[in-house]
Structure 1
Amino acid sequence: MQHSSIHWFRKGLRLHDNPALLAAATDCCRLHPLFILDPSSSRVGANAWRFLLDALRDLDGRLREMGSRLFVVRGCPEEVFPHLFHAWGTTRLTFEVDPEPSARQRDTAVAKLAAQHGVEVVREVSHTLYDTERILALNDGKAPLTYKRLQSLLASLGPPEKPAPALMQEHLQGCCTPCQVSHDIDYGVPTLEELGQDPTKVGPHLYPGGETAALTRLDVHMERTAWVCGFKKPETEPTSLSPSTTVLSPYLKFGCLSVRTFWWRLDEVYQGVDWDDNPQHLRAWREGQTGYPFIDAIMTQLRSEGWIHHLARHAVACFLTRGDLWVSWEEGLKVFEELLLDADWSLNAGNWLWLSGSAFFHRYFHVYSPIAFGKKTDRDGAYIRKYLPILKDFPAEYIYEPWKAPRSVQERAGCLVGTHYPRPIVEHRAASERNMGRMKAARAQRGTKREPPAGPSAAKSQRKKPKVEQH
């Protein structure tokens, strides 16, 4: 059967992890995404109204990208639905479960109306991490009265369900949203003034509402892996001039951000930081084509002679793993196993574990500079000139950083960076600082020693993070 569906947005103002919306689009020939504004039932202030209207405009824009639209209707749901059921020929109504007492009463009344009109009702849990009815059932029908009891019940349920797929264009194949030219007049998102709100009463627009802003904000915070893993809410600051927490709560409240999406994104960070899968970077390192002459000279010597000094091994191992490229130590081990004359299995594996910071070694902020380290014993660059003859005519001041040489110098040396010799594949300082944060987060999650401890706020944790020691 091809349904004519209404998906009723209340909270859950998003397309990601919205199983009720997906249910509305299943076996559907006509879809009406609906939001009912009942200003008389709400006591929220102008800032909250602005946030809601932002969210509705964002939702309408995201639906429009897929050929659909949001229908905003004003009035009491119990009075609005009988008219819409008839006007739109509705056969199915879907919505997200709202556990609040007043919402439960409203939804029960609407479900009865739907039954009277022969409309199927589909309700899905996605505003809360767990189905609250299931928790009550596990607790003999009573609300758990302590946090410890709640944790015990949740432990018996296991992790929350994974988020549902976001609504995509393919979900709407064969499904249309009937829109008239007058849609914006008849069903558009109103302004604050149209809702009787005074625009002068709103404060600075610091937190725009909507799914787009929510997901962007989530991404920004999840990139701060060290801060996330070291986060302790009691140590945040109520007087910080910029928020010392995430300010994701409004987006969770309105459902612009799915709480399950938030939970599982946090779980990914807490599980540790995986090595990057970057065959291009691995190949450049192996072949001595990283754009850093000291590293490339070492790898050239290894490839041609089968031996390199132990500190040279330190430098290239650090560069491949935690220092710059964030490629797994196991990949480096394989290359050394193949090319070294003295490749002893236990020593090779142990040294790679150590140099990558994966085991035995806690000074993860001690990084071998691909520039400064070689200069300590070979300022003129004789080692580089021997193993990278393409660079032999560069002046000493540029031999470790040929990309900094003026073009005229490069021309006189007979080597144009980017043509005859590669540009650096990463920017060392930025890469090493980013990787230090990833290493710190991974070690914090494993409960190993952190150096130094996380600061009490986001701002302070950024200012006081351990400085990368360049050697």
Structure 2
Amino acid sequence: MVVVVVVASLALFALLAFGPFSIFYSNPLVTCRQAEQVPQLHFLASRRHRFPATKKGEESCLGDRPLEKDSNAITRGGNYFQSMSMASSSFSGSGNALMWFRKGLRIHDNPALECASRGVTGGGFLYPVFVIDPHYMEPDPRASSPGSSRAGLNRIRFLLESLKDLDLSLRKLGSRLLVMKGEPGEVLINCLKQWKVEKLCFEYDTDPYYQQLDMRVKDYASAARIEVFSPVSHTLFNPADIIQKNGGRPPVSYQSFLKLAGEPSWASSPLMTIFPSLPSVGDVGSSQIVEVPTLEELGYVDIEMELPPFRGGESEGLKRLREAISNEKWVATFEKPKGDPSAFLRPATTTLSPYLKFGCVSSRYFYQCIQDVYTRNKKHTSPPVSLLGQLLWRDFFYTVAFGTPNFDQMRGNKICKQIPWNDNDELLTAWREAKTGYPWIDAIMTQLHKWGWMHHLARHCVACFLTRGDLFVHWEKGRDVFERLLIDSDWAINSGNWMWLSCSSFFYQYNRIYSPISFGKKYDPNGNYIRHFLPILKDMPKEYIYEPWTAPLSVQTKAKCIIGKDYPKPMVSHDSASKDCKQKLAAAYELNKKLNGVVSEEDLKVLQRKLDATCDSVLNPVHSHSSSGAKRQRRS
């Protein structure tokens, strides 16, 4: 009897780095269909050892060579496959198989699921299992002080909804989702042992957490002579291929990435695999199987509040994709800089980022849908500002992160400027808790808490304010807050954007900052966005909504919002704080240039002391004005 076990593991949101990792850990790829057509191509889990092939007289294609040093890629169209090594036997349904889901919570364009299901013959079984990792569960909202990489309420809600949707889809195909709890490596290895698995299938992941976890599982699979199939399907390209083309170095500019990437070889291949049915679920033995849990069962308190407008799952994701693509004029003319960050009722984006993060929607299928629109609309925007360009930005950050040790931190990160950021938790807490005294900033942070999502330009504003714009707080701390609160938090994209917006890497024009006053007013002069997310200011006249501290006391009284009592005073003067931030960055840039980027902690401490003696605007608030009013801050 052939048994295929599908295990989905929530080694959830793996957002912490575990040090340097080999850029050539990923290796040969091949399509599922070609694995059928070319039976000699076969994958065997072996990094260092030679194993007897399944056919008498045959041996491993790679023999004793370590995989990390073999970077030749087989790219023959269609669905790409990541593997440990290859041996010359066919992928036949000759034994039990296990498929391990991590992010790709979907049925469509899921090459690992396709190959696993094709491996089932003779009435075999398919066991879809999802492992909930307690390491990334943190129900206590106070635990993120000042920041935590563990998942907050909104992301867990989205995940559970996605799992329920996946379970429903599997049931329609004659299967169902089995949920397990525990440390993913232990659970997975126990399943491999208990179910006598001979084939292991899972989607390849470049995040450091998964790299570590995968190494452990693959080492066990190697010792147990278990074949490993690991397709690259979460991204448009295999990051290792891009890095190999660039001489072993990740491209650090978007344009260089585009030149290296070209067009995906699967671009014209059909990706929407049709499953008439899936093998049924068999006996799970002594395994502890549960249904998809509720938030309460995981320890989360589902507070009665405004629900985020994102329901998790493949069904909802594909529905949103169809709606977005149906407006061909909007798709063809999309320009990222022209989006409206204050549009919350009908956001000026596809709002697909949470679905791409969890793999509810295939980025490759999304790519094909956009290209189809471009084919019918010859006049369309181009990267980097186009809709297609946004998908390519995603792959760019994945590629740079994959090839850059310590990508998620400043120290030891070769592409990151060394800057003496301050560690003022008082500033960080006020920013995180939406108590900066700047309504535009506080409204955005409130939306983050309530929805777990905000427009990309809104993210730019609050990230700039925390770092190089006003507070000069370390970008890593802001990144940690986003990691916990965002539904679409993604290790590579989140860290990459925080480096970008803090002018630590990629972007270096630190004199260009987002004003916490005038930027929002440009899009929403009446302040409707602020009134919605900060109802305490809903009756403030529009001429004061962005600067309520300038309102006469009589106006504040009439609006039922006294600044300093009902709503906080500005924590800093934007004019003086932004000036000081520019001076600090100029000094830090000069130090990095002088020392050729090799800046020690002591060097930063010396510079910090020097800057502290000359820049003192932090925590010097703008005072609330009397009834006579006062001069407003200059717009930046």
TM-score by length of 2: 0.41
Structure 1 residue 220 displacement after superposition: 0.7
Structure 1 residue 186 displacement after superposition: 2.5
Distance, in Å, in 1 between the alignment partners of 2:264 and 2:377 is 27
| Mapping 1:299-338, distance limit 5 Å | none
Q: Does the alignment pair 1:208 with 2:311?
A: yes
Q: Select 1:169's aligned residue among 272, 276, 288.
A: 276
Distance, in Å, in 2 between the alignment partners of 1:45 and 1:111 is 30
Distance, in Å, in 2 between the alignment partners of 1:182 and 1:213 is 34
Distance, in Å, in 1 between the alignment partners of 2:377 and 2:264 is 27
For the 8 Å contact 1:69–1:177, the answer to whether it is kept is yes
Distance, in Å, in 1 between the alignment partners of 2:310 and 2:238 is 29
| Mapping 1:102-113, distance limit 5 Å | 102-113=209-220
Q: Does the alignment pair 1:259 with 2:363?
A: yes
Match in the other structure for 1:32: 127
Distance, in Å, in 2 between the alignment partners of 1:119 and 1:3 is 10
Distance, in Å, in 2 between the alignment partners of 1:157 and 1:257 is 18
Return the letter of the residue paired with 1:21.
L
Distance, in Å, in 2 between the alignment partners of 1:195 and 1:245 is 32
Measured against aligned partners, the alpha-carbon deviations of 1:108-163 in whole angstroms (never above 9, x if no partner) come to 11111222333211100100000111111111111101111101101276674745
Q: Select 1:195's aligned residue among 282, 295, 298.
A: 298
Instruction: Provide the secondary structure at the position in 1 that maps to 2:376.
Output: coil
For the 8 Å contact 1:77–1:110, the answer to whether it is kept is no
Task: Identify if the C-alpha distance between structure 1 residues 157 and 12 changes in structure 2 by more than 3 Å, giving closer, same or farther.
Answer: closer
Gaps of 5+ in 2: 1-92, 138-149, 379-521, 524-636
Q: Does the alignment pair 1:151 with 2:258?
A: yes
Distance, in Å, in 2 between the alignment partners of 1:196 and 1:246 is 32
Distance, in Å, in 2 between the alignment partners of 1:230 and 1:156 is 21
Structure 1 residue 72 displacement after superposition: 1.3
Match in the other structure for 1:96: 203
Match in the other structure for 1:18: 110
CA-based RMSD of the aligned residues comes to: 2.6
Q: Does the alignment pair 1:269 with 2:380?
A: no
Distance, in Å, in 2 between the alignment partners of 1:254 and 1:161 is 24
Match in the other structure for 1:45: 152
Structure 1 residue 88 displacement after superposition: 2.1
For the 8 Å contact 1:161–1:260, the answer to whether it is kept is no
Return the letter of the residue paired with 1:40.
H
Match in the other structure for 1:398: none
Q: Does the alignment pair 1:232 with 2:339?
A: no
Q: Does the alignment pair 1:219 with 2:219?
A: no
Instruction: Provide the secondary structure at the position in 1 that maps to 2:127.
Output: strand
Task: Identify if the C-alpha distance between structure 1 residues 156 and 190 changes in structure 2 by more than 3 Å, giving closer, same or farther.
Answer: closer
Larger Cα Rg: Structure 1 or Structure 2?
1
Distance, in Å, in 2 between the alignment partners of 1:144 and 1:61 is 41
Distance, in Å, in 2 between the alignment partners of 1:123 and 1:241 is 39
| Mapping 1:298-377, distance limit 5 Å | none
Instruction: Provide the secondary structure at the position in 2 that maps to 1:199.
Output: coil
Distance, in Å, in 2 between the alignment partners of 1:109 and 1:180 is 24
Structure 1 residue 4 displacement after superposition: 1.8
Distance, in Å, in 2 between the alignment partners of 1:176 and 1:103 is 29
Measured against aligned partners, the alpha-carbon deviations of 1:47-97 in whole angstroms (never above 9, x if no partner) come to 000000000000011001111111211111221122212322322111001
Return the letter of the residue paired with 2:291.
G
Match in the other structure for 2:95: 3
Distance, in Å, in 2 between the alignment partners of 1:31 and 1:215 is 25
| Mapping 1:446-457, distance limit 5 Å | none
Return the letter of the residue paired with 1:85.
L
Give the % identical residues. 38
Distance, in Å, in 1 between the alignment partners of 2:305 and 2:117 is 37
Measured against aligned partners, the alpha-carbon deviations of 1:403-449 in whole angstroms (never above 9, x if no partner) come to xxxxxxxxxxxxxxxxxxxxxxxxxxxxxxxxxxxxxxxxxxxxxxx
Match in the other structure for 1:55: 162
Distance, in Å, in 1 between the alignment partners of 2:304 and 2:235 is 32
Give the structure with the larger helix fraction: 1
For the 8 Å contact 1:162–1:261, the answer to whether it is kept is no
Instruction: Provide the secondary structure at the position in 2 that maps to 1:91.
Output: strand
Return the letter of the residue paired with 1:33.
P
Greater CA drift, 250-259 or 134-143? 134-143
Task: Identify if the C-alpha distance between structure 1 residues 106 and 167 changes in structure 2 by more than 3 Å, giving closer, same or farther.
Answer: farther
For the 8 Å contact 1:97–1:126, the answer to whether it is kept is yes
Instruction: Provide the secondary structure at the position in 1 that maps to 2:256.
Output: helix
Greater CA drift, 224-233 or 209-218? 224-233
Gaps of 5+ in 1: 275-455, 458-471
Q: Select 1:84's aligned residue among 171, 187, 191.
A: 191
Distance, in Å, in 1 between the alignment partners of 2:177 and 2:370 is 31
Return the letter of the residue paired with 1:168.
F
Match in the other structure for 1:434: none
TM-score by length of 1: 0.54
For the 8 Å contact 2:218–2:228, the answer to whether it is kept is yes
Return the letter of the residue paired with 1:135.
I
Return the letter of the residue paired with 1:41.
Y
For the 8 Å contact 1:229–1:269, the answer to whether it is kept is yes
Distance, in Å, in 2 between the alignment partners of 1:201 and 1:244 is 27
Distance, in Å, in 2 between the alignment partners of 1:11 and 1:19 is 13
Task: Identify if the C-alpha distance between structure 1 residues 161 and 104 changes in structure 2 by more than 3 Å, giving closer, same or farther.
Answer: farther
Distance, in Å, in 1 between the alignment partners of 2:340 and 2:270 is 32
For the 8 Å contact 1:12–1:256, the answer to whether it is kept is yes
For the 8 Å contact 2:99–2:202, the answer to whether it is kept is yes
Distance, in Å, in 2 between the alignment partners of 1:125 and 1:264 is 17
Distance, in Å, in 1 between the alignment partners of 2:172 and 2:271 is 20
Measured against aligned partners, the alpha-carbon deviations of 1:292-342 in whole angstroms (never above 9, x if no partner) come to xxxxxxxxxxxxxxxxxxxxxxxxxxxxxxxxxxxxxxxxxxxxxxxxxxx
Match in the other structure for 1:70: 177
Match in the other structure for 2:10: none
For the 8 Å contact 2:134–2:183, the answer to whether it is kept is no
Match in the other structure for 2:235: 128
Structure 1 residue 230 displacement after superposition: 1.3
Structure 1 residue 103 displacement after superposition: 1.1
Instruction: Provide the secondary structure at the position in 2 that maps to 1:6.
Output: strand
For the 8 Å contact 1:237–1:244, the answer to whether it is kept is yes
Task: Identify if the C-alpha distance between structure 1 residues 30 and 119 changes in structure 2 by more than 3 Å, giving closer, same or farther.
Answer: farther
Structure 1 residue 165 displacement after superposition: 3.5
Return the letter of the residue paired with 1:259.
S
